Amino acid sequence: MRPPHPIIAAYILAGAVASYLLLSFIVPSFSSHIVPHSLQWDQPESKDTNLGGAAITPAPAPAIPSPSPSPSSAPTPPAPLTLEEIQEKESHLLDSIKGMARDVLEPKGSKIVLLSASDGHGHNNAIANLFERATSNRLQYCAFHDYVYQYIDLSRYEADGRSAVWHKIPAIKDTFDLHPDAEWIWWLDMDAIIMTPTLDLASLVLNPDVLARRITYGEDINDTNGKPTGVRVNSTLDVSDVDLVVAQDFSLNAGSFFLRRSDFTFDLLDKWLDRANPEFNQNNEQDALNRLIVQNEDIRSHVGFVDLRLINAFGVGGRDMGWYPGDLVVHFAGCWVHKECSKRFEKLWPQRHTFDRDF
Ligand SMILES: *[C@@H]1O[C@H](CO)[C@@H](O)[C@H](O)[C@H]1NC(C)=O
Ligand SMILES: *[C@@H]1O[C@H](CO)[C@@H](O)[C@H](O)[C@H]1NC(C)=O
């Protein structure tokens, strides 16, 4: 992508400086939080050479919170805050950063909904206050870019008798209904943190001109065992047909992906949710989606695979998978296998770039 025209850049810079001065005057605490990246806004983007985009120096990491007391001596923890309580607690900050990103590229603003959901019974109870922290992190990201944040309590779908992993699908459908302006939904698992909130989703991946350069045409789409299938994204794919943007670790990972409102998408959601899928009994919605894509060229012609780190970097892993400063998100996928969720989370949480460190 080209850097902004110099005159536009000057306007953006002037606007940013004016807002900064105004805000630091009105909100004394604002300047100390915003300084680390306020200088970065107008740098030419470096996304083509660096997956994560603009080089942002993370604020110095505060001390890692002391480990929670052992369960035997622990007093009963306070009830977790609700979404509304978190919003209320943060309302001043959210108002002060609202729309400050001034994103230019489409899609932007309320055309993008960030959707997170939980049934409260995931593997990640090991991470202290995960709901509050992840929610605060997402609310700030959405406020800064004027995106819409939607949280859905998946227990509302329990009556259908399926296991919770499948409930993300009706949650996505309901989110399209709840937000008629939404063009794109970003599904993001609860156990992920937005690390570089200054990145906007259009210039990172969703704008068609950007997406055309992000798609990994040369790579095999692996099967669910992480074995190459010989099937790839069709090199004649028209990016304007792409309705699903997703990435693979060794095979497709459905912890962070983008779906665009379209007839294709609603049809795909129905096929994905179909009880006839062999994965249905294995509680594995991720493999079902992978198989649908590998086996059906008509589905594949609407799917853009991108590098994992672009939209779904992991808490551990090498250059291909693990989070590096500047990457958009870190997802603690599979951390429960080695009971390392809390350890990995507390190591990276302080390294996120943020507008506020009070939480
Ligand atoms: C790629 O797309 C073209 C045009 O839609 C189609 O004719 C062709 O069969 C596709 N190739 C593969 C390998 O799916
Ligand atoms: C696909 O599988 C191969 C073999 O396991 C692996 O080397 C490769 O990294 C996988 N591709 C992706 C994109 O993860």
Is residue 75 a part of any domain in this protein? yes
Is residue 165 a part of any domain in this protein? yes
CB of 248 sitting under 6 A from ligand 2: yes
Q: How confident is the model at residue 70 (pLDDT cuts 50, 70, 90)?
A: low
Is residue 182 a part of any domain in this protein? yes
Whole-number pLDDT of residue 300: 97
Q: Using only C-alpha atoms, what is the Rg of the chain?
A: 20
CB of 219 sitting under 6 A from ligand 2: yes
Whole-number pLDDT of residue 49: 34
Whole-number pLDDT of residue 336: 87
What does residue 320 show for φ and ψ, rounded to 5 degrees?
A: -80, -30
DSSP-assigned states of every residue in 196-239: -TT--HIIIIISHHHHHHH--TTSEEE-TTS-EEEEE--TT--G
* pLDDT, the chain, mean: 83
Residue 2 corresponds to which tokens in the numbers above?
């080209």
Residue nearest (by alpha carbon) to ligand 2 atom 12: 250
What atom of ligand 2 comes closest to residue 219's alpha carbon?
13
Highest mean pLDDT among 75-79, 118-122, 263-267: 263-267
pLDDT in tens, 85-121: 999 999 999 999 999 999 999 999 999 999 999 987 6
Whole-number pLDDT of residue 164: 87
- d(C-alpha 124, C-alpha 102), whole Å: 34
CATH of the domain at 345: 3.90.550.10
User: In angstroms, how far is CA 293 from the centroid of its own chain?
Assistant: 22
Is residue 5 a part of any domain in this protein? no
Is residue 103 a part of any domain in this protein? yes
Whole-number pLDDT of residue 282: 82
| Cut 0.95: pTM above it | no
Q: Which domain holds residue 204?
A: 45-351
- d(C-alpha 259, C-alpha 187), whole Å: 8
Is residue 32 a part of any domain in this protein? no
Write out residues with Cβ below 6 Å of ligand 1.
234, 236, 297
Distance from the alpha carbon of residue 286 to the mean position of ligand 2, in angstroms: 16
- d(C-alpha 253, C-alpha 228), whole Å: 15
Distance from the alpha carbon of residue 52 to the mean position of ligand 2, in angstroms: 21
Please count the structural domains in the chain. 1
**Residue reference for tokens 């977790």:** 80
Whole-number pLDDT of residue 8: 46
Burial of 107 (0-12, 13-18, 19+ CB in 10 A): buried
Is residue 145 a part of any domain in this protein? yes
Which of 217, 234, 293 for a ligand 1 pocket mutation test, highest count of atoms within 8 Å of Cβ? 234
More confident residue, 41 or 227: 227
Residues 98, 143 contacting (CB under 8 angstroms): yes
The amino acid at residue 306 is V
Distance from the alpha carbon of residue 237 to the mean position of ligand 1, in angstroms: 8
Whole-number pLDDT of residue 77: 67
pLDDT more than 70, % of the chain: 77
Residue nearest (by alpha carbon) to ligand 2 atom 4: 227
Q: How confident is the model at residue 326 (pLDDT cuts 50, 70, 90)?
A: very high
Whole-number pLDDT of residue 1: 39
Q: How confident is the model at residue 60 (pLDDT cuts 50, 70, 90)?
A: very low
Is residue 28 a part of any domain in this protein? no
